[in-house]
Amino acid sequence: MSGAFERWLGGGQPLAGASVPAVGLQFWLDEQGDVQHLGGPLRAQLPPVAQRAVRVQDALLPHSAVVLEGAPQDWQGQPLDLDFPTVQGASLRTRGWLQRQGAGWLLQLFDIGDLLGAQQHQAVRDDVQRLAVEIGRAVRECTGERLLPVIAQQLQRLAEHWQARAVQVWCHEQGDWHSHAASDHHWPWAAQAQVRPWLHVLAQQGDLDDRALAELQVLCGGLPLRVLPYREGGQVQACLLCVAAEAPFAQAASEALVQALLDPFLARWRQQHMQRSTDHLHDLQRQLGAGGWHWSPDGLLELEAALAERLGLPCAVSIEHWLEQLHPADREAARLALQQVREGQALSLDLRLSQADAQGDTRWLHWVGALHGGQVRGVVLDISALKAQEQQAGAARARLENLIASSPAVIYVQRYDEGALHSAFFSASLEPLLGWRSDGEQVRQPGLAVHPHDREQWLERTRTLLREGQVRCRYRLRDQLGGYHWILDEARLLRDDLGQPLEVVGLWLDVSDATEAAERVRQSEERYRALVDDSPAMICRYRPDLQVLFGNRPLADYLECAPDQLAGMNLGRWLSDGDREAFVQRLASLTPEQPLSSAEICLQLPGREQAWWVWADRGLFDAQGRLLEVQAVGRDNTEVRRSQRQLLQGAKMATLGELATGLVHEINQPLNVMRMAVTNSLKRLHSGTADVPYLSEKLQRIETQVERTVRLVEHMRVYGRRSELERQAFVAWRAVDGALALLGEGLRGRGVKVQAESPASALQVLGHPDQLEQVLINLMVNARDALLERRTPAPCIRLAQQQVEGRVCLLVEDNAGGIDPRLLGRIFEPFFTTKPAGVGTGLGLSVSHGIIEAMGGTLEVANAEHGACFRVVLPLYNTS
C-alpha cells in the first residue's frame, strides 16, 4: 500500500506485472494510444461521452488534452496531471502514471482534488495574512496628515484583492455615520444621506437582513453589495461597503482584513480627534484668557499651567498668596465667597488684580466654582475687555445724555400701540424752544399744535413713517405764546425681531429762520427770472451732456417752442456731429481755475437755413472739481456771419477776375494743341497717307488736352462756389496744388518762376480747402505784383511746407526785396493797400487773415533775406 501511495504522489514507478488496485481511474491503451478498456471507481463521475472516448485526449478538458502528445511510450517516466469533466459540471483533477501492461499500456490515475484544494486554501490564507500585515503597518506608520490618503490607498488594495468596483469605509462618530475615504472617486451612491439610515439599522441590530441589503443594492444601481461590519465591545463601530466584488469572499479572511485596516485607523483617528479637541480647548482658553482651578479647603489652590503663567503665579499657591494678588478692595469679598462655597453655595465673583496690565489698565477676573466631593472646582475668566466696554458704554451713555440735554434740537420718542403713536419722551430743549411743559396737553397730543394749513401733512407724516420706516418733513407748530415755528421733523421707526413696530425716535429742529430766508431767496429768484426772461440775449443752464435745465424766452423763440418746453431738450440736436463733438470737447476743457469759455457755434434751427450764435459759457463745479452744470449767454451772429461770407465770396470772385487773363491763356493752350492735331490729321487723310497708328496718336493727344481743360474748368467752378458750412479734414498741400493749377501758367507767362518744394509727408488740417486755397492765391498774387512792379531780375516765388511742434506751416516767399518795416503792423488791416488807386481793394490780406484765424491758426509776415515771407500756421489734425 505504501508503494501505491508513493506512486500516487509521483514519487516512484509501478512495477511490471503488479496487480492493479481497484481505486481511482484506469485506462488500458494499445500501442497507438486508443482506449481498449476503462475501469476504476471514478469512472462513474465521467459523462457518457467521456466513457466512450476512443482516445484518452477525447475524455479530457481542453487544457489537459495538449499534455498528451505522441504515442503512449512518450508519456512514460513522468507524472501526469489530467483534468476531466464530470456529470456534476465540476472538474475531476487527477494525477497518475503510465506503465507497460502486457502488449499494451495501463494509465493509472488518482483523485488529487482535496490535496490541491488544501494547498490553494493555504496559499490564500498566506496572501491574506501578508496583505493584512502590510495594511496595518502602512496605517500605523504614516503621518497624521497622510492618514486619510493612506486609507484611500489601502482601500484601493482591498478593492483589487476582492476584484471589486469600489470599497468605502464608514465610521460611527458622535451618534452619526461619516464616510472618510473611498477606493474610487466615482462611488455609485446617489447621496450619502441615503446610506446613513441603513447604517443606523446596522449599528442597532449588529447586522443587516436581506431586505436591507436589497435596499442598499438598489441605491447602488443594482450592483452586488457586501457590508463588512467592524465591532468593538459587541457594538458595530465601523464598516466597509464593497460593491461588485468578483473574487470569492471568505468570512475569516475578510474579517482579518477589515480588522487590520480599522484597528489602527480608528485608534489613530480618535487620538487625532482628541488632540484637536484639546488644542481647540487650549486655544479657546487662551483667547478668552480662561483657565481651570481646584482647591481643597485644607490644602493649596492649584491652577492650570496656562492660567498660572498668565497670572505670574506658580501652579500651586496658598489661599493667602492668591488673595495678595487681588486688589485690596476685593480681598474681603473673596474671603467671604470662599467661606460660602465651603458651605455649599456656588461661587461667582468679579475681582480686580492688584497689578495692571502692560497698557496700565486694570485686569478683571470672573471667578466661578462649586463644591464637588469635598473639593472646590471652577474656572477663572479674564473679563478685562468686557469691563472696559462697560465703562466705555457708561461714559458714552453719560455723554449722550448730556448731549441730549444740551442739544438745540428736541429729541423725542413715540411709542407704537395698535396702529397709533403716543408721545413717550421729549428732551429738555423742548421748553426753551416752544415753551411746552413736560406734563402739558401739547406734549401728550402734539398734533393739536400743528398749523391748520399743515395738518394734512402731519397726518401724512405718520402714515409715511409707519409705511416706509422713516420720514423727513416740515410743518409749523404753535408755541406757548401763540406764535408759530417752522419745524424740521426727521424720524425713524424701530422694529422688533419679527418686524413689528416698537417705537419712533426722531428730532425737531427749529428752521424758521432758514425757511424765511429760503422764501426771500425764492422771491429774489422770481425777480431774477423776470429779468432773465426780459433780456434780449439767450440765457440758459444745461448739464455737461447738453441737456437743458432752464432757458429764457428769447432762446425759446429761436427754437420755436414755449419756455417751459426747453427743460429736457438737448442742445446737440441742432448741431452737426462735428460741431457737437467740438462743443463737448470745449466744455471738457473747463476747470475751476478757468471756468469761462466762448465760441461761435453753427446750428440748424427749425424753419431756417443756418444760424450762427456767439456763445459764452461758465462752468459750475463741485468740491471735487467735477463739472455739474454750465451757465451760458448767447447772441445771434447770423447776419454778421452772412456778411462775412458774402465778403469772402466777393474777394474770391475778385481774385478769379484778376486771374482771368492767365486762365484764358491756360485754356487756349490745349485748344491750340487740339487744333494742330486736327489740321495734321486732315492733311494726312486728304493725301491718303494717314494710317491707323498715326491717327490713334493724334486722337490720344486730343483726349489728353480735353481732360486737361475739363480739370481746369472744374477747378474754377469748385473754387468759385460758396464754401461748405461743415469743416472737414484735408491735406494742407492740396490747397497749394489747387492754387498752382489756377496761377501757374499765368506766372510762367509773365516770367515769374514758381519753386514748389513738395513735402515728404501728407499733413492734414481741419477747415475748408477752397478757403485755404484762396489765401494762398491772394499771397501769390501779391508776391507776383510786387515782383513785376519792382522789376526784380529773375523773379521767383517759393512755396514750402514745415511741421513745427504739432502745427503745419505753409511758406510763401518772394525775392522782391521785402516790405517797408513801417507797414508790417498795418498790412492785415481792412482796405489798407500799397497799390495805386483802382488797382487793389485792400481786402485780400484782411480776408485771408480772418480765414486762417477761423481755422484756429495764424497768418504771419516777416522780411526774409531776399524778400517778404508769409507763414500760414495751422493746427495739425490728429487722425487718431
CA-based nearest residue to 845, from 833, 837, 857, 856: 833
pLDDT in tens, 526-536: 766 666 766 77
CA-based nearest residue to 71, from 38, 102, 105: 105
Given a cut of 90, whether residue 796 has pLDDT beyond it is yes
Residue 716 confidence class, pLDDT cut points 50, 70, 90: low
* Residue 701, C-beta contacts closer than 8 angstroms, at least 6 positions apart: 673, 674, 677
Residue 13 confidence class, pLDDT cut points 50, 70, 90: very low
CA-based nearest residue to 677, from 661, 692, 696: 696
pLDDT in tens, 860-871: 988 888 888 999
28-42, 118-132, 668-682, 841-855 — which is least confidently predicted? Answer: 668-682
* Residue 46, C-beta contacts closer than 8 angstroms, at least 6 positions apart: 59, 84, 85, 86, 87, 92
The conformation of residue 409, written as its DSSP 8-state character, comes to S
CATH for the stretch 119-279: 3.30.450.40
Average pLDDT, integer, range 285-304: 76
Percent of the chain with pLDDT over 70: 83
C-alpha cell of residue 60: 479530457
**What CA–CA distance (Å, rounded) separates 294 from 314?**
14
Given a cut of 80, whether residue 787 has pLDDT beyond it is yes
Residue 473 confidence class, pLDDT cut points 50, 70, 90: very high
Fold matches, 119-279 and 535-636: yes
Given a cut of 70, whether residue 779 has pLDDT beyond it is yes
Q: End-to-end CA distance of the chain, in Å? A: 115
pLDDT in tens, 414-466: 999 888 888 888 888 888 888 888 788 888 888 889 999 999 999 999 899 98
**What CA–CA distance (Å, rounded) separates 578 from 601?**
11
Residue 504 confidence class, pLDDT cut points 50, 70, 90: very high
Q: Please, what is the Cα angle at 743 between 739 and 746, to 5 degrees?
A: 175
Highest mean pLDDT pick, 210-219, 401-410, 418-427: 418-427
Average pLDDT, integer, range 290-312: 78
> What's the pLDDT score for residue 78?
80
pLDDT in tens, 235-258: 888 888 888 777 676 777 788 888
> What's the pLDDT score for residue 12?
39
**What CA–CA distance (Å, rounded) separates 248 from 234?**
27
For 240-253, give one letter per residue: b (16+ CB within 10 A) or e. Answer: bbbbbbeeeeeeeb
- What is the CATH class of 2-111? alpha beta
CATH for the stretch 535-636: 3.30.450.20
The conformation of residue 55, written as its DSSP 8-state character, comes to B
Residue 14 confidence class, pLDDT cut points 50, 70, 90: very low
> Helix (H, G, I), strand (E, B), or coil: what is residue 25?
strand
C-alpha cell of residue 803: 511741421
Average pLDDT, integer, range 800-808: 88
Give the CB-side neighbour count of residue 446, counting CA atoms within 13 A: 29
**What CA–CA distance (Å, rounded) separates 246 from 729?**
86
DSSP string, 807-842: EEEEEEEE-S----GGGTTTTTSTT---SPTTT--S
What's the one-letter identity of residue 180? H
- Within 10 A of 384 (CB to CB), how many other CB atoms are there? 17
Write down the architecture of domain 647-875 according to CATH: 2-Layer Sandwich (3.30)
The CATH fold of domain 407-516: Beta-Lactamase (3.30.450)
Sheet with 25-29: strands ordered across = 35-39, 25-29, 104-111, 91-101, 80-85
Average pLDDT, integer, range 834-858: 71
Residue 10 confidence class, pLDDT cut points 50, 70, 90: very low
What's the one-letter identity of residue 820? D
Highest mean pLDDT pick, 504-508, 738-742, 840-844: 504-508
Average pLDDT, integer, range 679-689: 77
- Within 10 A of 340 (CB to CB), how many other CB atoms are there? 13
Average pLDDT, integer, range 719-729: 61
Pair type for strands 753-756 and 796-804: parallel
- Within 10 A of 33 (CB to CB), how many other CB atoms are there? 22
Mean pLDDT (the chain, rounded): 80
Q: At what angle do helices 210-219 and 192-205 cross, to 10 degrees?
A: 160
Residue 609 confidence class, pLDDT cut points 50, 70, 90: low
For 271-286, give one letter per residue: b (16+ CB within 10 A) or e. Answer: eeeeeeeeeeeeeebe
SS3 content of the chain, % helix, strand, coil (to 5): 45, 25, 30
CA-based nearest residue to 799, from 746, 748, 759, 755: 755
Given a cut of 80, whether residue 274 has pLDDT beyond it is yes
> What's the pLDDT score for residue 486?
92
Domain ranges of the chain: 2-111, 119-279, 289-388, 407-516, 535-636, 647-875
> Helix (H, G, I), strand (E, B), or coil: what is residue 860?
strand
31-40, 130-139, 478-487, 649-658 — which is least confidently predicted? Answer: 649-658
Is 289-388 a CATH 3.40.50.720 domain?
Answer: no
537 compared with 594, residue with greater pLDDT: 594
Average pLDDT, integer, range 201-212: 78
